[in-house]
Amino acid sequence: MSFVSASLTTAPLQQQTLTPQQQYALKLLHMNAGELLAEAERAAEDNPLIECEELERPSADTQPTAGALHEETEAVRHEGESIAPEDHGPLENTYTSWTGSGAGDPDETPVIERVAAQRTLRDDLLEELGSLPDNPKIHPLVGCLIEELDDSGFLTTPLAEVAKSYMSIAAAPAADWQKALALLQTFDPPGVGASSPTDALILQVERRITEGTVKTAVGELLVVLLKNHLRQIAGNDRRALLAVAKGDETLLQDALALLQTLDPHPASGYAPEAVQYVIADIQVRHRGNRWEAMLNPQAQPAIRLSSMAQGLSVNESSPFGHYLAEARRLISGIEARQSTLLRTAQFAVDRQQAFFSEGRSALVPLAISEAAGALGVADSTVSRAVSGKFFQCPLGVFELRSLFMPPSVRAVDALGISQAVSPAKIRARICTLIAGEPPQKRLSDQALTELLNAEGFDITRRTVAKYRDLEGIPTARLRGR
């Protein structure tokens, strides 16, 4: 009899682990300027050993205005020349110095209070609700529904869930909630309180039928089409749509024409959310005969270690030691982030010097792995450093990642040498060709492909169409219209 013996062996498993400090440093590196400033502000509020320091007003040499940056594209300024605008004092002094037509009148309304505030959908709906004869049973429910509307004017939460969530302050039967919703859907703008864009369109059609502004047959046909034949409308399936209209071509045309006058988003006429401005981490300036990257002073957290904590060495397990370790970790992490970010940006700027002088058509292929190898860091570190970061230069504000363009197209130059070409250069060339096309004969994607191939670019029609779409340029047929 033979026995099969099995033995278990153990082998050491090597696995790289990151210290808490390294993990926190990577987290800071991934943050954009706005997130980093918010993180530093939060830490300064929570940690008594972190102090905020006053930021010095950026000098003309470190913080150019947008106008000055634009002028630098025309002629590079001399070093040290003042390009900052004249300082007229704090912004609040500007408002207090405005006197208006009633200067000296103690009853004169301040100018800042006479600036009209933007009206919101909620303001208008509540005002319309207040103008109706009081109904203490239904009106409070309508107010609750108004609070539940999203920015597009839709009520996406099921009515039963809304009733349940407001039960403690507005207990009412389901029938009353239905009446409240029906009342809200009679308010302006038409379609408010709908559950979806399609529902909003249907509500608008039904209101027009009630008001007598459209023929009943036309409105009813459009309602049927919206409820059951959206796919046929989207695909312009005339045969199927005509079958629904029972062969009445005129009726179908009127229904589709009515559809073009409707708005699937009831709140589209209201001001959108406030613009979110980008804070550039990096500024690119011309120095001598080359472009250089530098950190934007306005993107640097204005924090420091408290004077009482400097030089201390305490047990981290104590409350004071915990604050000290946290403060040092934050400041060290910010320093590491800024150093890595600046090194990465300068490497990209060095490789893309032509871009800052000639524009995006001069971008050369540059892979993240190439930067990582040159800087002696991991690819993921470079990826974190450029993700969500922006740089400001005379051409405008751009994502730092836009300087890293992997080659995807090859071109043959006049000497017959094949070389990689960045997608940005191809896209710029497509824009140039379309800008110069004759109005009577627009260039199709195939024609663009043939022209690019004749210039030495090895590119397919599908890639040309993709790049044209990315530039927001319609097809030749639509451009001809």
Q: Cα 253 vs. chain centroid, distance in angstroms?
A: 39
Over residues 350-375, the mean pLDDT reads 85
pLDDT digits (tens, 9 = 90+) for 323-347: 888 888 898 899 999 999 999 999 9
| Torsion angle (degrees, nearest 10) of CA 338, 343, 347, 348 | -10
List own/partner pairs for 161-168 with CB under 8 A and 24 or more apart. Answer: 166/141
CA neighbor of 399 nearest in space, from 15, 33, 5: 33
Higher-confidence position of 32 and 119 = 32
Higher-confidence position of 164 and 419 = 164
Cβ 313 vs Cβ 365: under 8 Å = no
pLDDT digits (tens, 9 = 90+) for 78-123: 433 333 333 333 333 333 343 444 444 445 554 444 445 567 888 8
Q: Is the pTM of this model over 0.75?
A: no
Cβ 34 vs Cβ 300: under 8 Å = no
Structural domain boundaries of the chain? 19-53+274-307+329-406, 121-260, 409-471
Over residues 384-412, the mean pLDDT reads 80
- Tokens describing residue 201: 């369109």
Which amino acid is residue 442, in one-letter code? Answer: R
- Tokens describing residue 68: 């000055």
Q: What is the DSSP string of 272-296?
A: -SPP-PPPPSEEEEEETTEEEEEE-
pLDDT digits (tens, 9 = 90+) for 190-249: 999 999 999 999 999 999 999 999 999 999 999 999 999 988 888 888 899 999 999 899
pLDDT band at 4 (very low <50, low <70, confident <90, very high): very low
Phi, psi of 190 (to 5 degrees): -55, 135
How far is Cα 359 from Cα 352, in angstroms, rounded to an integer? 10
